[in-house]
Structure 1
């Protein structure tokens, strides 16, 4: 099944309720995460983008009001979407909480694989599909040792992608590794990379 924008229900957004958002916001504050870009996290996202061969990779922290990409990789060849009004859409450091697929990963607390988001009515109407041309997504939660889901590690492409089991294992193991590094930075003051 493909997304059909001409159908009345085609634009229904079903962002899940996030009851942990206030506690997550406090935890992110304790860790000093989600308020500024971090070069080490940009580098981590860059390595993940190279490993998976995608134009976009993000380390995304989600608080009560927004999503913040403290780690962001946009390849120089990343497509730019021209909107109907002639302006160009470029993925920045922030997204609204109801944009993208990471809020679903955070609430579900497990990885999400969307080989072609247009195949899923729940996701096809998401603004990132039209705003940035995102057609494929792979993301895993960043769950720390307290059990708190801090955000996500994710990759996205403007083309459908068969992620397969290897893609799923890559994103899950990379997310687990990043959480370990974030916690070592907190406890031992060690650098992320």
Structure 2
């Protein structure tokens, strides 16, 4: 769904009507507040599976995004990416969260809506693959994503991989939540 301002201009960051409820849910689950070594390891798996220099597990709140899991390859080019905390209008994860479906951008500069994003100029991001991370109640909590500073073809295999990893992590989050309730 495409959202427009009342002036008819295309919004570069989508309106997120679920953000307040998501912020409450993230607090209930204890997610998105601090780095997590387990999620850092999962981000490394994402990077390895997609052969990407950067990957993350990102929880999107009302005003910011928090990468509780983050990985960058030791030989990755130096850039402003990755950062644990980003404003909500930076990057592409907020689009995935609002759309509730995966997003693959082989070259972000090919799309006017995405080319003007701050992560392009500030961090050199050129390619993105992300999928929604959904809890057991259907709430999209954030994303799993991979990023590159060069354009790249993710292909249908890359799309399937990022979606599969998001589903796997969603299962782990549910198991963690269930264990915490039982204990």
**Deviation sequence 1:35-57 (CA, Å, 0-9, x none):** 00000000000011011111110
Q: Where in structure 1 are there 5+ consecutive unaligned residues? A: 1-11, 82-88
Q: TM-score, normalised by structure 1?
A: 0.86
1:68 has 2:59 as partner: no
Taking the aligned partners of 1:63 and 1:174, their CA distance within structure 2 comes to 21
**SS state at 2:90 partner:** coil
Deviation at 1:91, TM superposition (A): 2.3
**Deviation sequence 1:109-148 (CA, Å, 0-9, x none):** 0000100001001000101011111100000001111110
Taking the aligned partners of 1:13 and 1:125, their CA distance within structure 2 comes to 11
Q: State the number of aligned residues.
A: 172
Taking the aligned partners of 1:127 and 1:137, their CA distance within structure 2 comes to 14
Task: Please tell me whether the aligned partners of residues 69 and 93 of structure 1 are also in contact (alpha carbons under 8 angstroms).
Answer: yes
Match of 2:82 among 76, 91, 97: 91
1:113-128 equivalences under 5 Å are: 113-128=104-119
Residue in 2 aligned with 1:172? 163
Taking the aligned partners of 1:163 and 1:127, their CA distance within structure 2 comes to 22
Provide the aligned C-alpha RMSD in A. 1.4
Residue in 1 aligned with 2:12? 14
Q: Where in structure 2 are there 5+ consecutive unaligned residues? A: 1-9
Task: Please tell me whether the aligned partners of residues 70 and 82 of structure 2 are also in contact (alpha carbons under 8 angstroms).
Answer: no
Q: Structure 2 vs 1, CA of residues 90 and 100 (structure 1 numbering), >3 Å: closer, same or farther?
A: closer
Residue in 2 aligned with 1:27? 25
1:153 has 2:144 as partner: yes
Taking the aligned partners of 1:159 and 1:114, their CA distance within structure 2 comes to 11
Residue in 1 aligned with 2:99? 108
**SS state at 1:29 partner:** helix
Runs of 4 or more above 4 Å deviation: none
Deviation at 1:104, TM superposition (A): 0.4
